[in-house]
Chain A
Amino acid sequence: MSEQRVFQIQLEGLIRLLAQNLYADPDVFLREMIQNAHDSVTRRAELARDRAEGAPPAPRISVEVDRAAQEIRIADNGCGLTDAEIDAYLSTIGRSGTNELRERIVAADRNRTVELIGQFGIGLLSAFIVADRVSVVTRAAGHEALRWESDGGREYSVRPGHRENIGTTVILHVRPEHTRYLDSVRIKHIVRTYADFIGVPVYVNDDAQPANAVTAPWHRTYAAEHDRFAAHRDLWDRRFADETALHVVVVDEPFSFPDAEAPGGERTGRIRGVLAVTDRHTPDVNARGTVDVYISRMFVGAANRDVLPAWARFMQGVLECNELTPNAARDSVRHNAALVAVRRTLGDLIVRELTQLSENSHRSFTEIMRWHAHHLLAMAVQPEHERFFRAVADLAVLETDQGPMAVGHYLRTAERRSDGVRIIHYITEEASAKQYMLLAGARGVRVFDCTEAFAERFLKKYAETWPERARLNRLDEAGAEALFEPLDAGEAARFTPLERAYAAMFADRSVTARASRFEPAALPAVLTETREGKRRREMDVLAADAAMPAAIRDIVQDFLAEADEPLILHLNAANPIIRKLAARPSLDDEVGRSALQSLYNNALMLLARTLPADAVHTMFTQSSQVIDLMLGLAEQVAQGSYAEPADAVPAPRQATYLSCSVTLPEGEPRSEEIFAAVRSVLEAKPYYWQVLRADSPSADPDLPPDLDAPPAHAALNVAVFAGPRLNQGLVNEVSISQILGQPQLILCDEGHPALPASFADVPQQTVHGLGAVLRKGVRSGLAEHPEVNRVRAYERYLSPSVLAWCAGLEESVGEAVSRRYPTWSEFQEADSADVARAVDIDVALVEAAKSGLRLLAEED
């Protein structure tokens, strides 16, 4: 036999416990009170409609902060509560008068949208987060005023109250630990956060203006489409004040989703609001892609990431959708069929917008691409976004050796096969990227850097989609033949002894030497390795790991013992030193052996420039000995066959001005001073060069990519040695420049440790002091430099410093001018009004700068 029993609830304290645990943020008590007030005025309007009465007074909510009485009072001119309603709704947790009303209305007329928010019947509890006692003074039409009171315990009291007009006032007796809420500024802030768009004005204390915006842009009507857009954009700009919208989308999308209870098994809904592509770059993939969500005019949560598709990390916005369901704490959105449909609908909208943008405004789209290439590529390669892919494929921007470049632009200028198909060269391995870019750059071949995820997948999809347009060639796999031109049989024979000498040196066949011809001619040898080779090297390391279980190690070693893919050492038949070595009667003497070893070492270093410091040191000691030996060797051979190093590195395009790249140790304040001195000397008379830091990013994030900007001719590399220690990275850079025969100048701070002996043939200048003294040192180093004196017939670079001297232009303005008009002549020829508009300054200032420059030119 069983009998039904009833739970005994210990209500004492339970209410407070619930209130304090349900809500993550105590601020929400005010949201709940305002929500109730809102529903109450809405209900009053409903009732008036039902009874065909005249319209009730204009809805209004007021919040009074009373420090003296330690009270917050929330008053509305809504419908009030009768005695029976007080018992049924106000005092019954989990029962919602509002929800029952909504259901009645919807049952009567399915097509009515009801602007009621409350649905759980628990919001009132949140008052006990901040209050130890809550009083409600209320008066319903045709009833006397009543006063309800509760301290969150089991009992509540109801007695006659005083209230003149119909409506309700909720009085919160604030607990001592929450008196911070007795501050009207704080209260206004909370009102704006949660109830900005509630549709009813909320007045705080005696303010004449409501604290909230009352309605959202999508709840207003507009005379013109343009106004509508402006209102939405304005909201976005204010909400995300520290970001910039690259493209704004006004959202007003219908959608439908399955709902078993709805007639036809489907319900429809609407998403309204504003989304924009933000300029926030997000290396952290979890950073953006968020929206502030409103449901039925009530703010539910900031930075929600469930509403947008996962790939849409570049979007940010504010949306309202009443078909979404909040959780009981009203701070996030339930995962249900409506949410899935919303996400899909927004995904479609974003793809549609971007597709259109790519068709109508290449410029804007390219700009977006520059910020968010990674996420856009990630989206484009997904099969369901085929249309987007096709629309944007040519505009997609990928990194190249010469900065970011659109695929379409690349193809227009790429090498073309006889059947019209263009070749896309790319690399995927980060470690060897620099080397391949160097080799390709010297040949005038551009290379896409696909070390970023999705870039390779994107190119592959491109080539699969349009095989008649493009063919891929991955340089760091097998495609390196494009860089290494085979020799004809007669010529090849001349290098056979050299190849054999290497074969003897690497008896384990881990390296195979092969002669070919490649650019730059100044580079004697490079190493390439296949992906397989790389894998083996990693396995070698793993097999040596003592922790590896022996049973597995056996298998790995067994595998490694078998045929190994050798590293290929490409010997450059165009390089004078290689030619001389090949011509030597014997390579088996000390000079020959050292030379071979050193060439190999340098090539290894170029392949992976992340070697431990001591390895670099050993290499350079040896390398410097060998360079000495080389010099001796060179003397034995006729002088005439030696090519001038500077000529051996051809400039790929006609350069219009000269530039100097300065390499300096990071985080060394003294080197910054020296750098500044180099700038002030080289950017001025008589040089007028461009001075760049070697580590500065090639792309300027503030400007759209101007792919056809006139190039600079890198005429000189300056290396700054300063600080207490010899910087190995810098030594490395100088040595590489040395090997490549690039003109360079070393500026060494007085008192800096001695430089490697192998740098003896690099022009050097010791500098000291500050200001004029420092500049003097720099100037004499440059004045004595043979290369600096050789190149003169170039245009003058228009540096921000020059613009500052001759026209007093601010640094930032000067930079903007210089970016657009890198040379004096371009600037002089440009229309002053255009310049003024482009950089947003007065035309008079542009004219002043021009005449200042003319004066300077006359002086020279």
Chain B
Amino acid sequence: MPRESARRAIDLLIGESSDLNAADRSVQALAVAERAVLAAWRLGDADLLVRALATQASAQRLLGENSAAMVSYIEVVKLAKDPRNADALADPSAVRAIGRPSNSIRPSTGPGSSAATYAD
């Protein structure tokens, strides 16, 4: 249970950061993403860490900090290649962050939605 509330909080941070990115507020987005990365790293959660890093990278890229973005992406790739993370990274949103092809279509709704996962 403690893990769950921590996971949810980090998830919210990541959501916040990508919304800020989308709203052209990358400076704030980066600040939030850095917190998410730190929290995910402390929690030792590979799935969240990958997503947080990916969000951080896109904020850095939008701010023109290309080499920093590169470093973040390399982190993502390293995590993805680590066989110990294979299970944790099977989640579709982690798959999207890594860029591995996924053929499942998941409706873009929040938790508690009645929508199905359409896998074919």
A residues contacting B by CB (< 8 A) are 283, 285-286, 309-311, 374, 378, 382, 452-454, 456-457, 531-532, 535, 538-539, 542-543, 545, 547-549, 551-552, 555-556, 558-559, 562
Contact: B9 with A285, CB < 8 Å? no
Chain B interface residues (CB < 8 Å from chain A):
1-3, 5-6, 8-10, 12-13, 15-16, 19, 31-32, 35, 38-39, 42-43, 105, 107-109, 113-116, 118-120
| B119 surroundings in chain A (CB, below 8 A) | 310
Residues of A within 8 A of B10 (CB): 552
Tell me the bound Cα distance from A310 to B113 in angstroms.
18
CA–CA, A558 and B32, complex, Å: 10
* A559–B8 alpha-carbon span in the complex (Å): 15
Pick the contact of B12: A456, A457, A538, A548 (CB < 8 A): A538
- Contact in complex: B39, A310 (CB < 8 Å): no
A558–B31 alpha-carbon span in the complex (Å): 11
* A378 contacts across to B, CB distance below 8 A: 107, 115-116, 118
Please give me the residue from chain B that is nearest to A377 by CB atom: B107
CB neighbours (8 Å) of B43 from chain A are 549, 551-552
**Contacts A310-B119, A453-B109, A453-B115 given; does A531 touch B9 at CB 8 Å:** no
- Distance between Cα atoms of A425 and B42 in the complex (Å): 42
Contact A542 B5 (CB under 8 A): yes
Minimum Cβ distance to chain B for residue A508 (Å): 20
Are B12 and A283 neighbours in the complex by a CB distance under 8 Å? no
Are B1 and A547 touching (Cβ within 8 A)?
yes
Chain B nearest CB: distance from A89 CB in Å?
A: 41
B107 to A, closest residue via Cβ: A453
Is the beta-carbon distance between A535 and B16 smaller than 8 angstroms?
Answer: yes
Q: Is the CB of A285 within 8 A of B16?
A: no
In the complex the two chains form, is B2's CB within 8 Å of A556's CB?
no
Given contacts A539-B9, A555-B38, are A454 and B107 in contact (CB under 8 A)?
Answer: yes
B19 and A555 within 8 A (CB)? no
* CB-based nearest A residue for B118: A310
Tell whether, in the assembled complex, residue A285 and residue B107 are in contact, meaning their CB atoms are under 8 Å apart. Answer: no
Residue of B nearest to A310 (CB): B118
Closest approach, in angstroms, between the C-beta of B31 and any C-beta of chain A? 8
Interchain nearest-CB distance for B7 vs A (Å): 9
Q: Is the CB of B118 within 8 A of A311?
A: yes
Q: Give the nearest-CB partner of B42 in chain A.
A: A551
**22 CB-based A-B contacts, threshold 8 Å:** A283-B114, A285-B114, A285-B116, A309-B120, A310-B116, A310-B120, A378-B107, A378-B116, A453-B107, A453-B108, A453-B113, A457-B108, A532-B19, A535-B15, A543-B9, A547-B5, A548-B5, A548-B6, A552-B6, A552-B10, A552-B43, A559-B35
A531 to B, closest residue via Cβ? B19
A453, B38: Cβ atoms closer than 8 Å: no
Most B CB contacts (10 A, CB to CB) among A285, A286, A454, A542 go to: A542
Which residues of the partner chain B approach A283 to less than 8 Å between Cβ atoms? 114
Residues of B within 8 A of A310 (CB): 116, 118-120
Chain A hits for B118, CB < 8 A: 310-311, 378
- Complex Cα distance, B37 from A559, in Å, reads 13
Of all chain A residues, the one with the shortest Cβ separation from B43 is A552
> Which chain A positions have C-beta within 8 A of B5?
542, 545, 547-548
Interface centre among A309, A539, A559 (most CB of B within 10 A): A559
| Cross-chain contact A542 with B9 (CB below 8 angstroms) | yes
- Give Cα distance in the complex from A558 to B42, angstroms: 15
Q: Contacts A378-B107, A548-B6 given: A285-B12 contact, CB under 8 Å?
A: no
Contact between B9 and A556 (Cβ–Cβ < 8 Å)? yes
What is the CB-to-nearest-CB distance from A350 to chain B, in angstroms, rounded to a whole number?
Answer: 14
A45 CB to nearest B CB, Å = 42
Point out the residues of chain B lying under 8 angstroms from A559, CB to CB.
13, 32, 35
Return B84 CB to nearest CB of chain A, in Å: 21
With A310-B120, A457-B107 in contact, is A555–B39 under 8 Å at CB?
Answer: yes
* B101 CB to nearest chain A CB (Å): 14
Closest A residue, CB atoms, query B116: A285
Select which of A311, A552, A562 is within 8 A of B9 by beta carbon: A552
Return chain B residues, CB-CB under 8 Å to A456.
Answer: 108
Partner of A556, one of B39, B109, B115: B39
Chain A contacts for B38, CB-based, 8 A? 555
Known A378-B107, A453-B114, A454-B107; judge A558-B12 contact (CB<8 A).
no
A497 to B78 Cα, complex, angstroms: 58
Partner of B42, one of A453, A454, A552: A552
Neighbouring A residues of B120 by C-beta, 8 Å? 309-310
Asked if residues B16 and A532 are in contact (CB atoms below 8 Å), the reply is yes
Residues of A within 8 A of B9 (CB): 539, 542-543, 548, 552, 556
Inter-subunit contact B115/A454 (CB<8 Å): yes
**CA gap between A562 and B108 in the complex, in Å:** 28
Please give, as numbers and ranges, the residues of chain A lying within 8 Å of B42 by CB-CB distance. 549, 551-552, 555
B residues less than 8 Å from A286 (CB atoms) = 116
Q: Which residue of A lies closest to B10 (CB)?
A: A552
Once bound together, how far apart are the Cα atoms of A453 and B117, in whole Å? Answer: 11
CB < 8 Å neighbour of A539 from B12, B31, B107? B12
By a CB distance below 8 angstroms, the chain B residues around A555 are: 13, 35, 38-39, 42
Extra A-B contacts (14), CB below 8 Å, given A531-B19, A558-B35: A285-B114, A309-B120, A310-B118, A310-B119, A453-B107, A454-B115, A538-B12, A539-B9, A542-B5, A552-B42, A555-B39, A555-B42, A559-B13, A562-B31
Looking at the complex, which one of A285, A382, A552 makes contact with B105 (CB distance below 8 Å)?
A382
Please state if A285 and B39 are interface contacts (CB–CB under 8 Å).
Answer: no
Residue of B nearest to A379 (CB): B118
A539: B residues at CB distance < 8 A: 9, 12-13
Determine the distance from Cα of A399 to Cα of B1 in the docked complex, in whole angstroms: 37
For B120, give the chain A residue with the smallest CB separation: A310
User: Nearest Cβ in chain B — how far from A547, in angstroms?
Assistant: 4
Closest chain B residue to A559, Cβ basis: B35
Whole-angstrom distance between the Cβ of A534 and the nearest chain B Cβ: 10
List, in ascending order, chain A residues with CB within 8 A of B19's CB. Answer: 531-532
State the Cβ distance, B110 to closest chain A Cβ, in Å: 9
**Nearest Cβ distance between residue B14 and chain A, in whole angstroms?**
11
Known contacts A311-B118, A378-B118, A535-B12; A549/B107 CB under 8 A: no
Report the minimum CB–CB distance from A436 to chain B (whole Å): 17
Residue of B nearest to A453 (CB): B115
Judging by beta carbons under 8 Å apart, are A549 and B35 in contact? no
Contact A552 B115, beta carbon cutoff 8 Å: no
Give the docked Cα–Cα distance between A378 and B109 (Å): 12
Which 7 A-B pairs give the minimum distances between C-beta atoms?
A453-B115, A285-B116, A547-B2, A453-B107, A453-B109, A552-B6, A555-B39
How far is B5's CA from A127's CA once the two chains are assembled, in angstroms?
58
- Residues on A with beta carbons closer than 8 Å to the beta carbon of B6: 548-549, 552
